């Protein structure tokens, strides 16, 4: 598969707050076309360092794509550095300059003299129109032996994406490999990363043509299966036999695929059964309802929920007796039970999920330290409860408890 290197330009991409997210989008596009991204470099607004990065990329990759640094100021060094790396000059395109002046005129402004830089095009390159900004892109075909195609794109995603789709994609297609790369994602809940590895490791050597990576997120585990072949169908032919084995090995632990969330899968199951759901959340504070209602169409099965954060709220709105709260405490199996049962009865829903626990950082008791969670699920068949002890901080405990509740409900269908 031909190699692409991506160079992202801009000092702001070297701060602790911003990342180069363009390259993720570009990688997905390039993989689908049949290119592999073999390296990414992020350089600040330093001419010499950037030139060197271009020289390296030209040496190692089959195509070089750079993003950003095409603006009108001194700091916008991409054009100069690319020219320097290639040992070529830049040419003023009068037509670009006229267009730029027209753009500014439409905004009722005079074009600053600085912007003249944006009419410079690398010798041998064509400019690519940018309807969403002032910086034109550039495409440069190899002009001699050993040279590589160069693509220069503006940094803002809403300028970069349409330019790539409208002007770069078709130019890249003939350079793409015989093969395309396809990736399938399996979503897994309830297994740790090493437990997952132990279950699956013996399968990988049977399918060396599939690249497997596992991704551990705060929500769940993902197993990525990637293969390349001349067609997407060919990729699937390579991936599916392994995917089948993995699904068999994981059984109920695998809840979905692709971008499906657990809340979406639960929603689908409720929809198929024409069943309805309510939630009663203390610990998770609305997070479960939020995940459920993130899914478009969730109003077809989700009636609503209570965020019963205080004892008074649990008593007044969901009929948990003061006596029970005094005797067992709000974080207890009987209270989780009562919340689920009352939520179901009070709303007339088919299912109710309830969550109580200690998210931390403070709270907890000796028997029930921070991280202790009581879940309850009320179904037409009765009420069940479960105690789980989660590691991690406040955010992780809440997030994992929410996921554990949804997963438990899923397993009731």
Binding test (CB under 8 A) with its own copies, winner from 279, 356, 372, 403: 279
Binding test (CB under 8 A) with its own copies, winner from 289, 320, 377, 404: 289
Nearest to 188 by CA among 224, 242, 212, 238: 224
* DSSP secondary structure of 220-267: -EEEEEEEEESSHHHHHHHHHHHHHHHHHHHGGGEEEETT--HHHHHH
Q: Is 205 in the site for its own copies (CB under 8 A)?
A: no
Strand order in the sheet with 254-257: 211-216, 221-229, 180-188, 254-257
Q: In this complex, which beta carbon is closest to its own copies, that of residue 64 or of residue 125? A: 64
| Only segment of 120-128, 167-175, 221-229, 333-341 that touches its own copies (CB under 8 A) | 221-229
Q: Which two tokens stand for residue 156?
A: 């803002």
| Only segment of 47-55, 138-146, 166-174, 267-275 that touches its own copies (CB under 8 A) | 47-55
Q: Is 413 in the site for its own copies (CB under 8 A)?
A: no
Q: How far is the CB of 305 from its own copies (least distance, A)?
A: 4
Q: Is 102 in the site for its own copies (CB under 8 A)?
A: no
Q: Is 43 in the site for its own copies (CB under 8 A)?
A: yes
Q: Is 292 in the site for its own copies (CB under 8 A)?
A: yes
Binding test (CB under 8 A) with its own copies, winner from 103, 224, 245, 386: 224
Q: Is 42 in the site for its own copies (CB under 8 A)?
A: yes
Q: Is 392 in the site for its own copies (CB under 8 A)?
A: no
Binding test (CB under 8 A) with its own copies, winner from 165, 201, 215, 271: 215
Binding test (CB under 8 A) with its own copies, winner from 88, 175, 226, 388: 226
Q: Is 44 in the site for its own copies (CB under 8 A)?
A: yes
Rounded CA-CA distance 162/147 in Å is: 26
Q: In this complex, which beta carbon is closest to its own copies, that of residue 120 or of residue 335? A: 335
Rounded CA-CA distance 283/390 in Å is: 13
Binding test (CB under 8 A) with its own copies, winner from 124, 234, 285, 329: 285
* DSSP secondary structure of 265-279: HHHHHHHHTT--EEE
Q: DSSP label at 354? A: E
Q: How many CA atoms lie within 13 A of 108 on its CB side?
A: 0
Contact 69, 30 (CB under 8 A): no
Binding test (CB under 8 A) with its own copies, winner from 89, 206, 310, 389: 310
361 prior amide bond cis, ω within 30? yes
Q: DSSP label at 165? A: I
SS3 214: strand
| Antiparallel, parallel or unpaired: β 382-389 and 372-379 | antiparallel
Q: In this complex, which beta carbon is closest to its own copies, that of residue 91 or of residue 195? A: 195
SS3 269: helix
Nearest to 408 by CA among 253, 223, 299: 253
Buried b (16+ CB within 10 A) or exposed e, 32-54: ebbbbbeebbbbbbeeeebbbbb
Q: Is 53 in the site for its own copies (CB under 8 A)?
A: yes
Radius of gyration of the chain (CA): 28
| Only segment of 125-133, 267-275, 298-306, 332-340 that touches its own copies (CB under 8 A) | 298-306
* DSSP secondary structure of 170-184: HHHGGGS-S-EEEEE
Q: Is 305 in the site for its own copies (CB under 8 A)?
A: yes
Rounded CA-CA distance 123/343 in Å is: 71
Interface positions, 1-30, toward its own copies (CB under 8 A) = 12, 14-19, 21, 24-25, 27-28
Q: How far is the CB of 246 from its own copies (least distance, A)?
A: 17
Q: Is 294 in the site for its own copies (CB under 8 A)?
A: yes
Binding test (CB under 8 A) with its own copies, winner from 38, 101, 147, 257: 38
Q: How far is the CB of 317 from its own copies (least distance, A)?
A: 7
- In total, the chain counts a number of residues equal to 413
Q: In this complex, which beta carbon is closest to its own copies, that of residue 89 or of residue 114? A: 114
Q: Is 348 in the site for its own copies (CB under 8 A)?
A: yes
Interface positions, 54-93, toward its own copies (CB under 8 A) = 56, 59-60
Site string for its own copies, 145-184 (x = CB under 8 A): --------------------------------------x-
| Only segment of 83-91, 230-238, 308-316, 381-389 that touches its own copies (CB under 8 A) | 308-316
- Show Cβ contacts of residue 367 under 8 Å, excluding neighbours closer than 6 positions: none
| Only segment of 113-121, 197-205, 346-354, 372-380 that touches its own copies (CB under 8 A) | 346-354
Contact 269, 298 (CB under 8 A): no
């Amino acid at each position: 598969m031909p190699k692409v290197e991506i160079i992202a330009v801009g000092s702001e991409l070297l701060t602790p707050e911003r990342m180069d997210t363009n390259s993720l989008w570009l990688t997905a596009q390039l993989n689908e076309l049949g290119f592999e991204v073999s390296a990414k470099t992020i350089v600040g607004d330093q001419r010499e360092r950037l030139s060197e990065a271009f020289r390296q990329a030209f040496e190692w990759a089959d195509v070089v794509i750079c993003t950003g640094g095409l603006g009108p100021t001194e700091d916008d060094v991409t054009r100069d550095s690319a020219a320097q790396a290639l040992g070529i000059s830049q040419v003023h395109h009068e037509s670009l300059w006229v267009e730029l002046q027209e753009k500014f005129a439409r905004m009722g402004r005079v074009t600053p003299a600085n912007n003249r830089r944006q009419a410079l095009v690398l010798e041998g390159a064509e400019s690519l129109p940018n309807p969403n900004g002032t910086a034109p892109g550039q495409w440069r075909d190899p002009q001699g032996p050993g040279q590589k195609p160069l693509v220069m794109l503006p940094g803002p995603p809403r300028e970069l994406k349409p330019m790539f789709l409208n002007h770069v994609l078709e130019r890249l297609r003939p350079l793409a490999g015989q093969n395309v790369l396809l990736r399938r994602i399996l979503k897994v809940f309830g297994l740790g990363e090493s437990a997952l590895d132990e279950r699956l490791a013996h399968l990988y050597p049977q399918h060396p043509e599939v690249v497997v990576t596992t991704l551990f997120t705060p929500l769940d585990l993902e197993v990525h299966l990637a293969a390349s072949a001349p067609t997407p169908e060919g990729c699937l032919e390579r991936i599916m036999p392994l995917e089948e084995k993995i699904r068999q090995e994981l059984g109920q632990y695998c809840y979905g695929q692709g971008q499906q969330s657990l809340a979406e899968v639960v929603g689908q199951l409720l929809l198929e059964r024409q069943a309805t759901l309510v939630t009663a959340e203390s610990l998770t504070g609305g997070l479960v309802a939020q995940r459920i209602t993130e899914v478009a169409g969730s109003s077809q099965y989700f009636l609503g929920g209570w965020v019963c954060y205080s004892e008074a709220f649990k008593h007044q709105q969901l009929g948990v007796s003061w006596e029970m709260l005094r005797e067992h405490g709000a974080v207890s199996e009987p209270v989780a039970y009562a919340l689920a049962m009352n939520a179901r009865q009070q709303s007339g829903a088919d299912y109710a999920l309830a969550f109580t626990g200690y998210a931390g950082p403070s709270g907890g008791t000796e028997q029930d330290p921070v991280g202790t969670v009581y879940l309850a699920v009320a179904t037409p068949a009765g009420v069940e409860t479960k105690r789980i002890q989660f590691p991690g901080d406040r955010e992780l405990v809440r997030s994992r408890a929410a996921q554990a509740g949804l997963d438990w409900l899923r397993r009731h269908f």
